A and B are shown apart, each in its own frame.
Chain A
Amino acid sequence: MRVVAFALAVSLSLSACVQTRQYADLQFTPPQGDYKLIVMRPDVSVGSVTTGGMVEPRADWTEAARANLIAALKAQQAGRGGNARILSRRDELTQVSAENVAELERLHAAVGNSIALHKYLGAYLPTKRRRGLDYTLGADAVSFGRATGYDYALFMYAEDKFVSTGRVALGVLGVAGCIIGFCAPMGGGGQFAYASLVDLKTGEVVWFNVLQTGSQVAGIKFGDIRTPEGAAQMVERLLGRMKPGRDIRRAMDARP
């Protein structure tokens, strides 16, 4: 998960804004009504950016953010009629062994890397042009769905970084330096998240989204996932507006 996140983080340029970029299977319809969703061990990491620019992970912030994100995610899915279960350990499922969960996670990490490479990093494939999101986890995901009874699996990664006071001060100095011709703005803070939805009936990765917020100027924030409101905001930005696939959109447009 971390590896996928790293590859994706490189792809979106860091500027003062909130960005998302989503891809969907051509036949994708956002889950609605009475569906069962399993969230595969959401990977959350919150840290502070030191004066020198290193990210120092913070256990308490991460715990708070994880709890808030999970609550926000459950509330959001319930609002659509779905029933979301959060898997927090690999050995929690009675029907599937921890090894099988681990294998599915690793498989998704590999497929997610391909998606990052070919959809976000610019190594576009001619065979995949105009075909939406054309990736699958194959039979393993289908048998996982059959054994557990879930309709969808969601893989999610979220990180948030807060700039330390020292770096903010240094950033102020860097911007002030612009007046005399030495411009050194210092960013570093911001959020990054991705979500990947797998249809367990077909095994296909049906929807993928990447969210990035950040600023070139240290200290400007676009949300704070340590708070319930901030976490709800991230979940909304990441999963709120799921666009249907192209074929479905066309069919909808064709209808009078």
Chain B
Amino acid sequence: MNSLVSRRAMLAGSGVMAASIATGVAAARILPSAMVPLIGPGYRPVDVDERGLWQQYARVEEEIAGSNLLIKDQALTRYLGDLIGKVGGPAAKDMRIYLARIPDFNAVMFPTGFAVVFSGLLLRMRNEAQLAGVVAHESGHFLRKHQIRQWRDMRRKTDIFSILAMGVGVAGAGAGVYIGDLAQLGQLGTILSLLQYNRTLEAEADAMGARLLAENGYPPVEMANTWQQLIDEEKLSAKYRRKRRRRDISLFSTHPAPEARMADLKVSARELTVPGRVYDDGRERYLRAIGDIRSMLLDDQVKLNDPGASQYIINTLAKDGWNGLLRFYEGEIWRLRNRAGDQLRAAQGYAAAVAYPDAPPDAWRWHGFMLFKQGRTAEGRVALTRYLAMKPNAPDAPFVRQMLAQPEPLR
């Protein structure tokens, strides 16, 4: 009897799995043209459940707005606010954006229309269009009311599951059969279906975002490029750690696979690009906006000691041209990894950095130290003197001065 039930349970379970796989993997692309914003300007929730959600998040926003993780650079904050005000569709003027100092590729939209952008995102974007793409994607979540739709979906499915589980349990007990296994498989089915819904909403936000991007004169293909960059970065990061890039089984993930998103976005971009129209990726504007914090962003990244990812990011940014800052942090990657031969690579990075007029003082500092280590003390002295001239109040300036005051050792 027992084996019969579990076989039946298995069958039911595999049915659920098969259905989920069928819908999960072969999900059709969502057309940008079908993505109409569901809310207008000045939106306020009316339904009971959504009002409850908004009230809860008011406190969350207060907490985030006062967080000491936020980067409070006024010009940059204004720039981000203007950007969401540009690509935010009908709700553009209602949305808020906070920049958190977290060196990771992420951005989050909350149900009440405020977004948190991680500083690691700003580092990775090559131009304004790429950033606008992410911001537009997040706006898409708000414009399409994703959080409340997700909540309702979850409520409906857990309700149905509870009722079914109870019904099946009582019926099974009446017939004298244990149904626990079956109920567990049913639960798995419910969870899988929730994740599937989540992936659908992400795909919707991608389509909505691509549309907003194109409507505002940005090249829509930049969204697909962002995903290509993420995939390649993960690959290189894994390779340097002698691992393979982790690929979630799409059945169990909340977001569609980056490959699938990229492929869909490429098709959508082709669809949205109007021949003959001039698109502006806003690279100059973007670099001006993040100019003041770019070295901090690079610093945070290299200190993660993820050389594959750091190397990929720097090489990607350098496609638009090398400069002293990028070369310096390239050197930092290897100095911080500190394996055999890395010191030489670091020294090469610093030497390359100081050839640029915009080399940061620390590039001269490390260039000097590396020259000393190689026994090229005369050149090292020149570099360190240059460092002191650029940063006379550096924390280690007295030590460096003392070092320079030592007489040249006799050979």
Give chain A's interface residues, CB within 8 Å of chain B: 43, 45, 47, 50-54, 56-60, 62-63, 90, 98-99, 102, 166-167, 170, 173-174, 176-177, 180-182, 184
Q: A51-B162, A99-B66, A176-B170 are known; give 7 further A-B pairs, CB within 8 A.
A: A52-B158, A53-B162, A59-B52, A59-B54, A60-B48, A62-B55, A90-B62
* 4 closest A-B pairs by CB: A52-B158, A182-B173, A57-B52, A51-B159
Complex CA gap A63/B158 in Å reads 27
Complex CA gap A238/B408 in Å reads 76
Complex CA gap A181/B176 in Å reads 9
Complex CA gap A80/B160 in Å reads 51
Residues of A contacting B53 in the complex (Cβ-Cβ under 8 angstroms): 57
A52–B155 touching, CB < 8 Å: yes
Complex CA gap A45/B54 in Å reads 12
Within 8 A of A (CB), among B7-58: 48-49, 51-56
A45–B56 touching, CB < 8 Å: yes
Residues of A contacting B66 in the complex (Cβ-Cβ under 8 angstroms): 90, 98-99, 102
Complex CA gap A47/B48 in Å reads 11
**Assuming the A-B contacts A50-B155, A58-B48, are A180 and B166 also in contact, with contact meaning beta carbons closer than 8 angstroms in the complex?**
no
Residues of B contacting A166 in the complex (Cβ-Cβ under 8 angstroms): 159
A59 interface neighbour in B51, B59, B160, B170, Cβ under 8 Å: B51
Complex CA gap A98/B166 in Å reads 50
**Assuming the A-B contacts A57-B55, A59-B55, are A184 and B48 also in contact, with contact meaning beta carbons closer than 8 angstroms in the complex?**
no
A52–B159 touching, CB < 8 Å: yes
Within 8 A of A (CB), among B53-77: 53-56, 59, 62, 66
Residues of A contacting B170 in the complex (Cβ-Cβ under 8 angstroms): 173, 176-177, 180, 182
Residues of A contacting B155 in the complex (Cβ-Cβ under 8 angstroms): 50, 52, 54, 56
A2 and chain B: residue at smallest CB distance? B59
Is B172 on the interface with A (CB-CB < 8 A)? Answer: yes
Within 8 A of A (CB), among B355-400: none
Residues of B contacting A176 in the complex (Cβ-Cβ under 8 angstroms): 170
Residues of B contacting A47 in the complex (Cβ-Cβ under 8 angstroms): 52
B52–A170 touching, CB < 8 Å: no
A52–B166 touching, CB < 8 Å: no
- Nearest Cβ in chain B — how far from A75, in angstroms? 25
- Nearest Cβ in chain A — how far from B70, in angstroms? 12
Within 8 A of A (CB), among B158-192: 158-163, 166, 169-170, 172-174
Is B230 on the interface with A (CB-CB < 8 A)? Answer: no
- Nearest Cβ in chain B — how far from A251, in angstroms? 42
B176 and chain A: residue at smallest CB distance? A181
B48–A180 touching, CB < 8 Å: no
Give chain B's interface residues, CB within 8 Å of chain A: 48-49, 51-56, 59, 62, 66, 151, 154-155, 157-163, 166, 169-170, 172-174
- Nearest Cβ in chain B — how far from A44, in angstroms? 10
12 pairs of residues in contact across A and B, judged by CB atoms under 8 Å: A47-B52, A51-B158, A52-B155, A52-B158, A57-B53, A59-B54, A62-B55, A63-B55, A99-B66, A180-B174, A181-B173, A184-B169
**Assuming the A-B contacts A54-B154, A90-B66, A182-B170, are A62 and B162 also in contact, with contact meaning beta carbons closer than 8 angstroms in the complex?**
no
A177–B162 touching, CB < 8 Å: no
B166 interface neighbour in A45, A60, A174, Cβ under 8 Å: A174
Complex CA gap A56/B52 in Å reads 7
- Nearest Cβ in chain B — how far from A27, in angstroms? 34
Residues of A contacting B55 in the complex (Cβ-Cβ under 8 angstroms): 57, 59, 62-63
A167 and chain B: residue at smallest CB distance? B162
B59–A43 touching, CB < 8 Å: yes
A102 and chain B: residue at smallest CB distance? B66
B169–A177 touching, CB < 8 Å: yes
A170–B166 touching, CB < 8 Å: yes
B162–A170 touching, CB < 8 Å: yes
A98 and chain B: residue at smallest CB distance? B66
Residues of A contacting B48 in the complex (Cβ-Cβ under 8 angstroms): 58-60
- Nearest Cβ in chain B — how far from A141, in angstroms? 18
Complex CA gap A22/B49 in Å reads 35
A52 interface neighbour in B54, B56, B162, Cβ under 8 Å: B162
- Nearest Cβ in chain B — how far from A140, in angstroms? 14
Residues of B contacting A180 in the complex (Cβ-Cβ under 8 angstroms): 170, 173-174
Complex CA gap A173/B169 in Å reads 10
B51–A52 touching, CB < 8 Å: no
Complex CA gap A182/B160 in Å reads 19
A182–B62 touching, CB < 8 Å: no
- Nearest Cβ in chain A — how far from B72, in angstroms? 11
**Assuming the A-B contacts A57-B53, A182-B173, are A51 and B154 also in contact, with contact meaning beta carbons closer than 8 angstroms in the complex?**
no
Complex CA gap A50/B162 in Å reads 10
- Nearest Cβ in chain B — how far from A57, in angstroms? 4
**Assuming the A-B contacts A62-B52, A180-B173, A181-B173, are A50 and B166 also in contact, with contact meaning beta carbons closer than 8 angstroms in the complex?**
no
Residues of B contacting A63 in the complex (Cβ-Cβ under 8 angstroms): 55
**Assuming the A-B contacts A57-B56, A59-B52, A102-B66, are A177 and B159 also in contact, with contact meaning beta carbons closer than 8 angstroms in the complex?**
no
A56 interface neighbour in B49, B161, B174, Cβ under 8 Å: B49
Complex CA gap A114/B328 in Å reads 43
Residues of A contacting B62 in the complex (Cβ-Cβ under 8 angstroms): 90
B173–A177 touching, CB < 8 Å: yes
B161 interface neighbour in A43, A52, A99, Cβ under 8 Å: A52
Residues of B contacting A59 in the complex (Cβ-Cβ under 8 angstroms): 48, 51-52, 54-55
B174–A50 touching, CB < 8 Å: no
- Nearest Cβ in chain B — how far from A104, in angstroms? 12
A174 and chain B: residue at smallest CB distance? B166
Residues of A contacting B158 in the complex (Cβ-Cβ under 8 angstroms): 50-54
Residues of A contacting B52 in the complex (Cβ-Cβ under 8 angstroms): 47, 56-59, 62
A59, A62, A174, A180: most-surrounded residue (chain B CB, <10 A): A59
Residues of B contacting A90 in the complex (Cβ-Cβ under 8 angstroms): 62, 66
Residues of B contacting A177 in the complex (Cβ-Cβ under 8 angstroms): 166, 169-170, 173
- Nearest Cβ in chain A — how far from B288, in angstroms? 30
**Assuming the A-B contacts A62-B55, A102-B66, are A50 and B159 also in contact, with contact meaning beta carbons closer than 8 angstroms in the complex?**
yes
Complex CA gap A69/B160 in Å reads 35
Residues of B contacting A53 in the complex (Cβ-Cβ under 8 angstroms): 158, 162
